[in-house]
Amino acid sequence: MKNSFEVIVVGAGSMGMSAGYYLARRGVRTLMIDSYDPPHENGSHHGEPRLIRHAYSGGKSYINLALDADRLWRELEDTSGQKLLARSGVLNMADRSIGKFIPRLPGCAEAGVQVEMLDAAEVHRRYAGITLPESYEAMYEPNAGYLYSEQCIAAYRRLALAEGAMLLPYNPVQHIQADGAGVRVRTRAGEFSADQLIITAGAWFKHLEPFVTLPIRAVRKTVGWFRTEPHFYDAGNFPGFTLETQEGGYYGFPNINGAGIKIGRHDGGLPWSPGEQVAPFGHLEEDEGDLRRTLSAFLPQSAGELLQSAVCKYELTPDEHFIIDRHPFYANVLLAGGFSGHGFKFASAVGSLLADLVQQVPTTVDLSTFSLSRFNHIKS
């Protein structure tokens, strides 16, 4: 393998593999390095699928990025010849007192994102498997759905390599050095140099300190697939969903090919640091208990046997907005991390954006929401 590249990508997971593809497609000599062999089961992208929604809170940056990502996912489907996105619709449900949806409506109207507000009775009329208290409301997004995250990464990998990108799997980056002239990256396979560096290290940013210090904390997250009574929740008739209760926030997916309904909790999670073992599903009674209680209360015909489970990682910033910015000291080093449990849907657009930033192509994405300077008031 050559040792010198135009761009090195550290972390070829959701964001890094996509960036590697868009760079290679533009003819940029790119090396992607990963500690594992992506897609893999150690980071944030396994246990597919992942929701893709467009009716975002958090400003126009997110809605526009979600729409751009959607366009690029469809393009990836065409280029790869694979079905990667199921447009199931997504039903977002919340206790009215949380006030989740009304503030989003003007942004959706402006961006042309179709949404429909439903009361609890209408939700039950459409989906007999959902029981919502009257105090709940719902916002349905007919054009939302879910992505087969591992297959998306595998497709980007295949196409990136076909476009000439190199991938070095099973090689954790041990040391990075940068100056205005370029970067040097050390792995046990040797040292590699490049003009520019992209770091998309997911839950492992802490491992790269002191070269880069970001306000990101990783947490262990658990998801379960539960057997359902026949027909209530089958893919094709039942949407993806989010559910905000007074106790916490959940998300889930229909029963796809008999796998069972998949449900996870967005808030909470045990802290995790690089190098530590991740406790398996069931380590805490609540891993299953919490999910089962929520299903019993809101989707009562789906709280059957636990068929499958997974443990994954979130990497959270203090405000749960992403970090996409240049390194504070090295303009030739780009950082993309802190995807805070809602980043996968954007991976196509983030990869393309990183390629734009490498090539200094003007971008329409408003990067201020994702800038590192927003944390300047935080004392480390």
Ligand X SMILES: Cc1cc2nc3c(=O)[nH]c(=O)nc-3n(C[C@H](O)[C@H](O)[C@H](O)COP(=O)(O)OP(=O)(O)OC[C@H]3O[C@@H](n4cnc5c(N)ncnc54)[C@H](O)[C@@H]3O)c2cc1C
**Amino acid sitting at position 24:** A
- Are 217 and 272 contacting, i.e. CB atoms less than 8 angstroms apart? no
| Binding flag, residue 152, ligand X (CB under 6 A) | no
How many CB atoms are closer than 10 A to CB 43? 23
| Binding flag, residue 239, ligand X (CB under 6 A) | no
Residues 247-266 that bind ligand X (CB under 6 A): 251, 264
**How far is Cα 240 from Cα 192, in angstroms, rounded to an integer?**
43
Least distance in Å: CB of 181 to ligand X?
A: 22
Whichever of 94 and 120 has its CB closer to ligand X, that residue is 94
- Are 194 and 6 contacting, i.e. CB atoms less than 8 angstroms apart? yes
C-beta nearest to ligand X: residue: 13
Least distance in Å: CB of 138 to ligand X?
A: 18
Residue with tokens 């041990």: 174
Least distance in Å: CB of 199 to ligand X?
A: 8
Give the residue, chosen from 7, 223, 243, 349, that forms a contact with ligand X under the rule CB under 6 A. Answer: 223
Contacts of 203 (CB under 8 A, 6+ apart): 43, 44, 218, 272, 274, 313, 314, 315
User: Strand (E) positions, the chain?
Assistant: 4-10, 30-33, 50-52, 85-86, 90-95, 116-119, 136-141, 145-147, 166-168, 175-179, 182-187, 190-199, 217-226, 240-244, 249-253, 261-265, 270-272, 306-316, 323-326, 333-337
347 φ/ψ sector (left φ>0, alpha ψ -120 to 50, else beta): alpha
Least distance in Å: CB of 251 to ligand X?
A: 6
- Are 33 and 171 contacting, i.e. CB atoms less than 8 angstroms apart? yes
Whichever of 34 and 141 has its CB closer to ligand X, that residue is 34
Whichever of 132 and 312 has its CB closer to ligand X, that residue is 312
| Binding flag, residue 45, ligand X (CB under 6 A) | yes
Residues 280-309 that bind ligand X (CB under 6 A): none
Length of the chain: 380
Least distance in Å: CB of 212 to ligand X?
A: 11
Helix 60-80 vs helix 347-359: angle between axes, to the nearest 10 degrees? 100
Give the residue, chosen from 64, 88, 92, 200, that forms a contact with ligand X under the rule CB under 6 A. Answer: 200
Least distance in Å: CB of 240 to ligand X?
A: 8
| Binding flag, residue 104, ligand X (CB under 6 A) | no
Burial class, 101, CB count within 10 angstroms (exposed 0-12 / middle 13-18 / buried 19+): buried
Least distance in Å: CB of 368 to ligand X?
A: 20
- Are 297 and 247 contacting, i.e. CB atoms less than 8 angstroms apart? no
Span from 71-79, 117-125, 159-167, 194-202 in contact with ligand X (CB under 6 A): 194-202
Per-residue x/- mask for ligand X, residues 1 to 40, rule CB under 6 A?
A: ---------xxxxxxx----------------xxxx-x--
* Nearest to 191, CA basis, from 168, 209, 214: 168
What are the residue ranges of helices labelled H in 112-219?
Answer: 120-126, 149-162
Least distance in Å: CB of 142 to ligand X?
A: 18
- Are 364 and 30 contacting, i.e. CB atoms less than 8 angstroms apart? no
Span from 67-75, 106-114, 202-210, 368-376 in contact with ligand X (CB under 6 A): 202-210
Give the residue, chosen from 8, 9, 31, 43, that forms a contact with ligand X under the rule CB under 6 A. Answer: 43
Give the residue, chosen from 207, 227, 326, 374, that forms a contact with ligand X under the rule CB under 6 A. Answer: 207
Per-residue x/- mask for ligand X, residues 327 to 346, rule CB under 6 A?
A: ----------x-x-xxxxx-
The site for ligand X (CB under 6 A) is made up of 10-16, 33-36, 38, 43-45, 47, 50-51, 172-173, 200-202, 204, 207-208, 221, 223, 251, 264, 312-314, 337, 339, 341-345
